[in-house]
Amino acid sequence: MLDFATPSIIPSADHPASYCNSLTEYSRRTTITVPIGSVPLGSDYPIRVQSMTTIDTMDTLGSVEQAIRMIEAGCEYIRITAPSVKEAQNLENIRKELRARGYDTPLVADIHFTPNAAELAARIVEKVRINPGNYADRKRFEVIDYTDASYAAELERIRDKFRPLVRICKEYGTAMRIGTNHGSLSDRILSRYGDTPLGMVESALEFLRICEDENYYSIVLSMKSSNPQVMVEAYRLLVHRLDAEGLKPYPLHLGVTEAGEAEDGRIKSAVGIGTLLEDGLGDTVRVSLTEDPELEAPVAQALIDRYTRRAGHAPIPAIRHYPIDPFHYTRRKTHEVANFGGINVPRVIADYSEIPVTEHEQLRPIGHFYLPVPDKWRMNDLGADYLYTGSRPVSFMLPNGLKEILDYKTWLTAGDRVHQFPLLDTATYLNLRQTPDALHPTLNFVETRLGDWSEELAHALAADQAVVLVVRTENAHAMAELRRLYVDLINTNLTCPVVTLRSFADRQGDTLQLYAATDLGGLLVDGLGDGVWLATDQLPAMPMEDRLATANRYNSIAFGILQAARTRMSKTEYISCPSCGRTLFDLQETTAMIRKRTDHLKGIKIGIMGCIVNGPGEMADADYGYVGIGKDKISLYRGQQVVKKSVHADHAVNELIELIKEDGRWNEPENEV
Ligand code: SF4
């Protein structure tokens, strides 16, 4: 593999990150407009919502009815798979029936491997999506050593295969998405660039240059991955490369592939999509959940809605020197304070300031539970690390290494200097820091906002090895303001660990998990944050039962965000495809069944894919794969390698578990009750 480094980015006052308009003022990236039927796409228009049908494309009425449910749920484009010419042809019937029923929503044909289906579909629907990883290539998982000449010859072969489609799109006024997927890069791209964001970007640019050579510009671009960190880096790099090469600012379609289902799927999607939307990137959003497609649109809409009133937020000082590499993950350098920072995983702080803890059972919602027989405390994989109890110390000894954070005044009189630590505001900390014995000798939490930042604070932190900062903000452009504070810390070489605290009024519904995942995940994917703390000021108004349920929910969301940002793996990771017309089994049912048997296998990644055509590629970095290959037939994978072929669906889950056992990665689930 040649060493193609990411283009060197020299952050400067004029262009601090070179992938977005501003890191401190919300501003949507300006793009060209791409006409797509009656719903144009680009920065002159609202950010669009879209999704994909899951019914067999040959089932015309089923597809139409599902498309209508999706449109009524908010989808502005409907994507339908066209695996071969016969499905591409049937798009005509689906389109006619939809139009006859009064819906003019543009249709998008989803193409993999079949240029002839693409060329037919481009004459029928408003947009085609091609995957540059498999449009002209069939993956053989081969590493070929390309010379410059043989690589150029390959590109010429691709040009010959791809050019007819471009010309048809141009003639028919059909738009195109060049949609790279991390999991299905071609052998050619992998050989030269590796499995990297740069490879993803180059994969799209090779096809884009062919389009531009044909003077065809109705193009939308996407860089999807099931790993939000990779996906964020790839989109940023794409924008940077478009600008650097003088290519047009094409609209972006945002998505995290195979995000999974329920809370984990929503959090993973928000960490990827929300992070980019915060910086003004993205013109259409597809959230891929292993759920019915009409359930995806409201999630996408909730992510988008947050930005309709974002402009005009409280000002944030501009960044003169941006020290973070937006294209490669690097964790901010910190020294260790207690179990924060250094090489420790980010910690989770549970907010119990409005929950007086008097009984063991009250800690169960945050993963610590007491078993009367055999008279022992246990902790599950979502056991919080710290408990913030404000002015109400817990009345018994905390279990499992769980520690307590108290408001400073309460801490002074609480008396336990081993398990209890104080929380101070910045002014109190600065006043007391030189008073003997006023602070804890090893761990003090200091709450800070960007407005508290001062030279005095910087000097104090530089001289103090016993502080963990707790940063928070009330700015509507929260992630950017918090990031700004982290930038000051890095630029002044301060290495104290930092916990990010976000407080939300909303304690229910999708928005809490989506917004928390965006704000905290957006920092974590850039290596910022040694702990997360979710809070709400709504607790006092709730009955105690609801307060405990809220604590449970916040705790689960906090761990989910750390997992999605790949900074702390505490659960089994499911990379399950959203299903489509190619799907060979009931994905929702199968995913639930696999989850039920394996969700105690912390840190293991299991891909559950509906078809053999895209499945193995799409499950990217999964440790094990469960892939449909025919009716009731499953192939099981270890990494990218198929190890059990054509297993009957009735015993495929047992075989999967056997495989995990053979690898010594199985353990029996523990019973919490
Ligand atoms: S992996 Fe799933 S979503 Fe992707 S093409 Fe196959 S069945 Fe459809």
374 cis-preceded (ω within 30 degrees of 0): yes
CA 281 to centroid of ligand 1, rounded, Å:
26
Digit-coded pLDDT (tens) for 103-127: 999 999 999 889 999 999 999 999 9
Tokens read off for 545: 């039962």
Query: By the 8 A CB rule, do 19 and 237 touch?
Result: yes
Kind of pairing between the strands at 175-181 and 219-224: parallel
Q: Which of 491, 434, 482, 483 is nearest to 458 (CA)?
A: 491
Residue owning the nearest CA to atom 8 of ligand 1: 580
Query: By the 8 A CB rule, do 362 and 399 touch?
Result: no
For residue 579 and ligand 1, the question of a CB distance below 6 A is answered with yes
Helix (H) or strand (E) holding 607: strand 605-609
Digit-coded pLDDT (tens) for 44-55: 999 999 999 999
Distance CA 155, CA 124 (A): 28
Task: For residue 85, give Cα distances in angstroms to 20, 89, 130, 615.
Answer: 40, 6, 15, 21
For residue 618 and ligand 1, the question of a CB distance below 6 A is answered with yes
Residue type, 372: P
CA 224 to centroid of ligand 1, rounded, Å:
14
CA 585 to centroid of ligand 1, rounded, Å:
11
Atom of ligand 1 nearest to the CA of 83: 5
CA angle 649, 655, 660 (to 5 degrees): 140
CB atoms within 10 A of CB 460: 17
Helix (H) or strand (E) holding 430: helix 426-432
Summarize the confidence of residues 280-301 as an average pLDDT. Answer: 94
Residue type, 225: S
CA 584 to centroid of ligand 1, rounded, Å:
9
Q: Is the dihedral of CA 288, 294, 295, 298 positive or negative?
A: positive
Burial class (CB in 10 A: 0-12, 13-18, 19+), 345: middle
Q: Which of 67, 133, 132 is nearest to 95 (CA)?
A: 67
pLDDT band per the 50, 70, 90 thresholds, residue 144? low
- E strand intervals along 368-442: 368-371, 376-379, 386-390, 403-407, 420-425
For residue 609 and ligand 1, the question of a CB distance below 6 A is answered with yes
Mean pLDDT of all residues belonging to the chain? 91
CA 249 to centroid of ligand 1, rounded, Å:
30
For residue 231 and ligand 1, the question of a CB distance below 6 A is answered with no
Q: Which of 529, 573, 499 is nearest to 350 (CA)?
A: 499
Residues 6+ apart with CB under 8 A from 560: 263, 264, 267, 513, 517, 571
* Confidence at residue 508, expressed as pLDDT on a 0 to 100 scale: 62
Digit-coded pLDDT (tens) for 581-617: 788 888 888 988 999 899 889 889 999 998 887 788 7
For residue 580 and ligand 1, the question of a CB distance below 6 A is answered with yes
pLDDT band per the 50, 70, 90 thresholds, residue 527? very high
Q: Which of 560, 533, 389 is nearest to 470 (CA)?
A: 533
Summarize the confidence of residues 466-471 as an average pLDDT. Answer: 98
Query: Helix (H, G, I), strand (E, B), or coil: what is residue 164?
Result: helix
pLDDT band per the 50, 70, 90 thresholds, residue 264? confident
For residue 611 and ligand 1, the question of a CB distance below 6 A is answered with yes
The preferred substitution site among 579, 588, 590, 637 for testing ligand 1, maximizing ligand atoms within 8 Å of CB, is 579
Atom of ligand 1 nearest to the CA of 580: 8
* Strand-pair partners of 573: 605
Q: How far is CA 149 from the centre of its chain?
A: 38
Residues 6+ apart with CB under 8 A from 343: 336
Task: For residue 456, give Cα distances in angstroms to 131, 343, 427, 445, 466.
Answer: 54, 28, 10, 17, 17
Digit-coded pLDDT (tens) for 321-377: 999 999 999 999 999 999 999 999 999 999 999 999 999 999 999 999 988 888 888
Q: What is the edge-to-edge ordering of all strands in the sheet holding 641-648? A: 573-576, 605-609, 624-630, 633-638, 641-648
CA 610 to centroid of ligand 1, rounded, Å:
5
Distance CA 189, CA 150 (A): 13
CA 583 to centroid of ligand 1, rounded, Å:
6
> What angle in degrees, to the nearest 10, is found between the helix axes of 509-524 and 262-269?
50
Q: Is the pLDDT of residue 538 over 90?
A: no
pLDDT band per the 50, 70, 90 thresholds, residue 575? confident
CA 154 to centroid of ligand 1, rounded, Å:
27
* DSSP code, position 373: T
What DSSP string runs through 274-315? IHHHHTT--SEE----SS-GGGHHHHHHHHHHTTTTTTTPPP
Residue owning the nearest CA to atom 4 of ligand 1: 614
Alpha helices by DSSP H, listed for 492-614, are: 509-524, 544-564, 587-598
CA 242 to centroid of ligand 1, rounded, Å:
29
Residue owning the nearest CA to atom 5 of ligand 1: 614
